[in-house]
Structure 1
Amino acid sequence: ADGRIGGVDRLATGPVRHAAPEDPAYMIFTSGSTGKPKGVVVSHRAIANRLLWMQEEYGLRPGERVVHKTPYTFDVSVWELFWPLLTGATIVVARPGGHREPVYLAELVRSESVTTAHFVPSMLSVFLDDPRAVEGAAGLTRVVCSGEALAPEVRNRFLRLLPGVELHNLYGPTEAAVDVTSWHCRPDGGDTVPIGRPIANMRTHILDSRLAEVPLGVTGELMLEGVGLAEGYHGRPDLTAERFIRRTAPDGTVRRLYRTGDLARYRADGAIEYAGRTDHQVKIRGLRVEPGEIEAALAEHPEVHACAVLARGERLVAYVVSPDGAADPAELARHT
């Protein structure tokens, strides 16, 4: 042997370097208004904090079963995969596309004795519309919702149809380790569903345009602080500096914050209510969508002189100006 493996020098001795807490654990791409998705780098420390909090909060037991149905390009899949592995529970893997099929999911939950499942609120609403799905889901212990705003009507319907199942509303951007706030939904929850309070080792700030804390009940931009923040955007130091800012607190401490672009306010009980976006970003079935990204792709088509993309409920609608008004909608859809 010449001391080489596959053309690479082999080290006969030397320490094996294990991953450190600050090393990247994963990178997930999220949409960008320029049409160029950006990779969000999350450290081992950040995701470990999130997983340990989840276990402390919900107490998943060995032998319980968690359904893994979220595509791995969406950060919820991280806890679906690793939380069961940390606790001795079992991962039940749904078939590709199964997350869109309420009756299939209900049968999977029933046949595999699943105790824990995640739903985007819009999909949960569809799930609850089918009596067969509701019947199959009665054996669940807990359902976790995140990805978009949870409507009070969906919460109320869930708690009425599945009274023995816990419902938890979580919130968090891709730029943090999955979720940063949580709320346990109750039947007497009122006219809104809060996103709750910060999880372990995270802090929330609701600030005005001058980065000053707003009073109770006043709407401002939600900003995040703590070990759960991502390291930044891969290969984008400019964008990282723009979104992950340094703020000097009133006590003189300099803190690293992430600007979510989400509007929020504190309720009288200290829980946080989501109040919309500061920009044009929207959520469609739980996926973050930048209409500007789609507009940028449409504008590249030779038949498009100008365009605008707007959200209409659970659909995106594009308005296009073409030279002679004869642009083919099907062709434009394929192009984007």
Structure 2
Amino acid sequence: MPVGAPLPGASAYVLDDVLNPVGTQVAGELYIGGDSVALGYIGQPALTAERFVPDPFAENGARAYRSGDRMRRNHQGLLEFIGRADDQVKVRGYRVEPAEVARVLLNLPSVAQASVLALPVDEDESRLQLVSYCVAAAGASLTVDNLREQLAARLPDYMVPAQIMLLD
């Protein structure tokens, strides 16, 4: 899917795993450089270090944003979106990693096993919802309402699964 070219003041690099540019029509990860790049995530130094890296093409110590988007340049030099380099999906307009929601579930003492999937809403592949599958820890009692309440206390509302399935 073509997405065009970077805005003025921004640079877009399609790079391989060791930050080398890839050729035309070759997939790589999109890195964004230039004056418009943020300084990082507020209060999240680990995520900032992971996503904001030294810009390999800037001389002034500037940083580039590692987007997580798989891209390529077409023969006209325009960027084309291929997919995500990670497991992020869009749910209700927000980027979400289902595995992150599963980690929160697994940190609850009453949950022994958990998996979270992004599944289509009413068979519409363009609209996704999170569905979690949970197994209770030995001796624990799980209810959908209790899990939803615990998740709502730990996650933004758009990351709380639309459906919670309890498994034996």
TM category, shorter: 0.7 to 0.9
User: Which segments of 5 or more consecutive residues in structure 1 lack a partner in the other structure?
Assistant: 1-191
Query: Deviation above 6 Å: which 4+ runs of structure 1?
Result: none
Q: In the alignment, is the contact (CA less than 8 A) between 2:69 and 2:81 conserved in 1?
A: yes
* Separation of aligned partners in 2, 1:275 and 1:216: 14
Is 1:270 aligned to 2:77, yes or no?
yes
* Separation of aligned partners in 2, 1:247 and 1:200: 17
Letter paired with 2:144: P
Structure number with higher helix proportion: 1
Q: Give how far 1:267 is off.
A: 1.6
Q: Structure 1 298/266 Cα, relative in aligned 2: closer, same or farther at 3 Å?
A: same
* Separation of aligned partners in 2, 1:209 and 1:300: 31
Corresponding residue for 1:221? Answer: 29
Q: Give how far 1:328 is off.
A: 2.3
Give the alignment's Cα RMSD to 1 decimal. 2.3
Aligned length: 142
User: Which segments of 5 or more consecutive residues in structure 2 lack a partner in the other structure?
Assistant: 121-127, 152-168
Output one character per residue of 1:138-190: Cα deviation in whole Å (capped at 9) or x when no partner: xxxxxxxxxxxxxxxxxxxxxxxxxxxxxxxxxxxxxxxxxxxxxxxxxxxxx
Letter paired with 2:76: D
Q: Structure 1 240/323 Cα, relative in aligned 2: closer, same or farther at 3 Å?
A: closer
Q: Give how far 1:255 is off.
A: 4.6
3-state SS of the aligned residue for 2:105? helix
Q: In the alignment, is the contact (CA less than 8 A) between 2:109 and 2:137 conserved in 1?
A: no
Is 1:232 aligned to 2:28, yes or no?
no
* Separation of aligned partners in 2, 1:235 and 1:334: 25
* Separation of aligned partners in 2, 1:219 and 1:287: 24
Is 1:332 aligned to 2:142, yes or no?
no
Letter paired with 1:268: H
Identity value in percent: 39
Q: Structure 1 239/284 Cα, relative in aligned 2: closer, same or farther at 3 Å?
A: closer
Q: In the alignment, is the contact (CA less than 8 A) between 2:33 and 2:55 conserved in 1?
A: no
Q: Give how far 1:199 is off.
A: 0.8
Q: Structure 1 208/315 Cα, relative in aligned 2: closer, same or farther at 3 Å?
A: same
Q: Give how far 1:306 is off.
A: 1.8
Structure number with higher strand proportion: 2
3-state SS of the aligned residue for 2:111? coil
* Separation of aligned partners in 2, 1:312 and 1:239: 26
Corresponding residue for 1:212? Answer: 20
* Separation of aligned partners in 2, 1:248 and 1:222: 13
3-state SS of the aligned residue for 1:296? helix
Corresponding residue for 2:134? Answer: 320
3-state SS of the aligned residue for 1:321? strand
Structure showing greater Rg: 1
Q: Structure 1 237/294 Cα, relative in aligned 2: closer, same or farther at 3 Å?
A: closer
Output one character per residue of 1:212-257: Cα deviation in whole Å (capped at 9) or x when no partner: 00111111000001111111122444432332111433xx835521
TM-score normalised by the chain length of structure 2:
0.73
TM-score normalised by the chain length of structure 1:
0.39
